[in-house]
Amino acid sequence: MTTTGVRIEGVGYEYPTGVLALSDLDLSIPTGSSVAVVGPSGCGKSTLLQLLAGLRAPTSGHIDWPAFPPGVHPMTVVFQTDTLLPWLTAEENVGLYFKVGRAGRRVGRAAARARVDALLKMVGLQDFARAYPYQLSGGMRRRIAFLTAVAPQPAVLLLDEPFSSLDEPTRVTIHQDVLRIMSELDMTVVLVTHDLAEAITLCDDVVILTARPGRVLNRHRVPFDRTGRNAIELRHSREFLDLYALLWEELGSQIFTTSPDQQGSTSHVR
Amino acid sequence: MFGSGRRSRRLWITLAQLALVAAFLAAWQWLPTIPWLAEKSHVFDSFFVSSPSKIVARLRDLFFGPPGVTPIWTYIWNTMSASTLGLVIGLTLGGVLGLILGSSAVLSDIFRPFLVALNAIPRIALIPIVVVLFGPTSLGSITVSVMVTFFVAFFNAYEGARSVAPPLIQNAQVLGAGRAAIMRYVRLPYVIAWTVAALPLAATFSVISVVTGELLIGAPGLGLLLGNATSTADATLTFSLVVILSALGVVTVLIADQISKRVLHWWAK
């Protein structure tokens, strides 16, 4: 794998309805780094993630991916909505990769089992391995969805507002689990979020997008080492609060440049 | 305390229900013995409405009757085997077609209007065609059941396949699933779930349609016996068969409900 990582160059995306979600967006995501993308509602953050996931193709510009070594799963996504399959248990959901794809099936059954068990243990859900999704709380379900995406040990993990449906205390607890797994598995992470605290907590860089059509307004380095980061203690630090205030200031400038007309017609641009 | 209150309420409800049944049976037994009432209306004439005691006696004869008479079990077997077979075939065909059309927007656009139109045809209108095609045979009864249960299963399976949320499919895609794996691991379980959820309703429809078919096409089964009873104005046999059919209907729904609950144990409570 090269150290250059993923390079997004001059990317634009226009919906079939004629709405321009992204325009001339440049962004580099170094291998092994974690980058948060924040921006006003409807600026095309989730569209950008869908382009990275290959679920949509850019209408202009291009995305360059590094060459991944054979056997490395290129990318997975944690979606905003619930993606657990309700007829599978928690452990079966986490191990979905080992069933559905050729690459996943090549991992032996014992190795797959060991990986699933280890992941469940990392987030303290080993006792809920055989539980069905309906038997789990919202926070547990989100953890399982996260583990499902992490189980293939992808080169790049895309997170699309993965914890936005959770209450603040649960979210912060999950952040700690996510930080631990991210540092252990050494993945490149792209996080799309509305939550500035989440962006600072989980990532090395925070990128602010402009109002629609989204392009990069600014990029900030998070002044903390990701290894050993404590999601709760972090929030009391001066640097955290300063960066939070700065990000809000820049984000606010974009929120208030979005016209009421744009705000009312963003439902199809996520 | 709260629990004992609930138990006594339940006991009272059961007692009230038993009292209602007893009152109804007593009225049925004794009212037609009043000549004045029988003259007023056929509803109170035991020739037309029989009586509970006669029905119990006839039921005993039907199940444990004199030798030489075809036992009721043969008719029950004919009806229930045709119902079960028709149900299985109808659910399978409907489920598979629902899965295919629900998974393909193009195929759905082409075929769905025809299926909606076919579903709008009263199935009873097609029974003469079934008679011509298969004659008064069990195959005819099974065909009638398939015609009914197929649509119940199809529309449920179709909605099941279409109701799969796009992120579920996208999630499987990014985990490396191809079209076949998405079909097998995501769409198919949804379709099976929706089809099985329709099982209690489809099972009831299957019994009703088979009995109707037997009644109209003269295929062997309880429906044929019911037709004979009606044509010979044998009210006791007619009501006895109604009792048997009701019991079979209840048993069918209970079994279908149990299967549905077991298969869909993972469904959110």
HSE-CB at B3 with a 13 A cutoff on CA atoms is 0
- Contacting residues of A for B268, CB less than 8 Å apart: 86, 133-134
In chain B, residues with a C-beta closer than 8 Å to the C-beta of A99 are: 181, 185
Q: What is the length of chain B?
A: 269
Of B78, B214, B217, B98, nearest to B149 (Cα)? B98
Please report, in angstroms and rounded to a whole number, the separation of the first and last CA atoms in chain A.
Answer: 31
> What's CA B265's distance to the chain center, in Å?
23
Q: Which residues in chain B are closer than 8 Å to A164, comparing Cβ atoms?
A: none
Question: Which residues from chain B sit within 8 angstroms of residue A83, using beta carbons?
Answer: 165, 167-168, 171
Q: How confident is the model at residue B22 (pLDDT cuts 50, 70, 90)?
A: very high
Mean pLDDT of all residues in B61-73:
80
* pLDDT surpassing 50 at residue B242: yes
Cα dihedral sign, A16-A20-A23-A25: negative
B174–chain A nearest CA distance, Å: 5
Q: How far is CA B194 from CA A194, B40, B85, B165, B268, in A?
A: 36, 52, 20, 14, 13
Which residues make Cβ contacts (< 8 Å) with residue B104, sequence separation at least 6?
Answer: none
User: Quick one: closest CA in A to B178, which residue?
Assistant: A101
- To the nearest whole Å, the CA of A154 is away from the closest chain B CA by 9
> Which of A154, A19, A166 is closest to A80 using CA atoms?
A166
Residue B167: closest CA among chain A residues belongs to which residue?
A83
B6: its two tokens: 């609930």
With beta carbons less than 8 A apart as the criterion, state whether A270 and A47 touch.
Answer: yes
Q: What is the mean pLDDT of residues B165-173?
A: 93
Contacts of A73 in chain B (CB under 8 A): 176
Cis peptide before B200 (omega within 30 of 0): no
Burial B136-164 (b: 16+ CB within 10 A, else e): bbbebbbbbbbbbbbbbbbbbbbebbbeb
To test the contact with chain B by mutation, choose from A82, A83, A93 the residue with the greatest count of B C-beta atoms within 10 A, namely A83
Contacts of A101 in chain B (CB under 8 A): 175-178, 181
CA distance B264 to B160: 14
Confidence at residue A234, expressed as pLDDT on a 0 to 100 scale? 87
Residue A33's Cα: distance from chain center in Å? 12
Task: For chain A, list residues with pLDDT below 50.
Answer: 1-2, 259-261, 263-270
- Cβ contact, residue pair A148, B170, below 8 Å: no
Those residues with Cβ within 8 angstroms of residue B22's Cβ, 6 or more apart along the chain or in another chain: none
For residue B196, pLDDT over 60 is answered with yes
Question: Which residues are CB-contacts of B193 (< 8 A; sequence separation ≥ 6)?
Answer: A87, B160, B263, B264, B267
Least CB–CB distance from A86: residue in B171, B172, B267? B267
Between chains, do A96 and B173 touch, taking CB under 8 Å as contact? no
Q: Which residues of A touch B182 (CB under 8 A)?
A: 100
Q: Looking at per-residue confidence, does A58 or B119 come out higher?
A: A58
- Across the interface, of A53, A103, A134, the residue whose CB is closest to B176 is A103
pLDDT of residue A208: 94
% of chain A with per-residue pLDDT over 70: 94
Q: Between the CA of residue A123 and those of A143, A266, B101, what are the distances in Å?
A: 7, 36, 41
Of A206, A99, A82, A207, give the one whose Cα is nearest residue A146. Answer: A82
- Across the interface, whether the CB atoms of B266 and A99 are under 8 A apart is answered no
- Quickly count: other Cβ atoms within 10 Å of residue B109's Cβ: 10
The token pair at B205 is: 């429809």
pLDDT at residue B31 in the model? 86
Which CA distances in Å does B151 have to A30, B140, B175? 55, 18, 35
Residue A247 phi, psi (nearest 5): -65, -40
Question: Which pair of structure tokens corresponds to residue B91?
Answer: 């659910």
Contact B172 A134 (CB under 8 A): no
> Which residues of B are less than 8 Å from A86 in CB distance?
266-268
SS3 A238: helix
Residue B14, token pair as written in the block: 């059961």
CB contact under 8 A, B170 and A85: no
User: Nearest CA to CA, how far is B102 from chain A (Å)?
Assistant: 18
**If we measure between CA atoms, which residue out of B161, B49, B7 comes closest to residue B95?**
B161
Helix runs in chain B, H state only: 2-30, 35-40, 46-49, 52-64, 72-103, 105-120, 123-134, 138-162, 166-174, 179-182, 188-197, 199-217, 222-231, 235-263
> Nearest 5°: CA angle at B175, between B169 and B177?
60
Confidence of residue B84 (pLDDT cuts 50, 70, 90): very high
Measured CA to CA, the distance from residue A128 to residue A141 in angstroms comes to 11
Chain A nearest-CA distance from B166, in A, is: 9
**Composition of chain A by helix, strand, coil, percent to 5:** 40, 20, 40
* pLDDT tens digit sequence for B123-157: 778 888 888 888 888 899 999 999 999 999 999 99
Split at pLDDT 50, 70, 90, the class of B269 is: low
pLDDT band at B120 (very low <50, low <70, confident <90, very high): confident
- The torsion angles phi and psi of B58, rounded to 5 degrees, stand at -65, -40
Residue ranges of chain B whose CB lies within 8 Å of a chain A CB: 165, 167-168, 170-178, 181-182, 185-186, 189, 193, 265-269
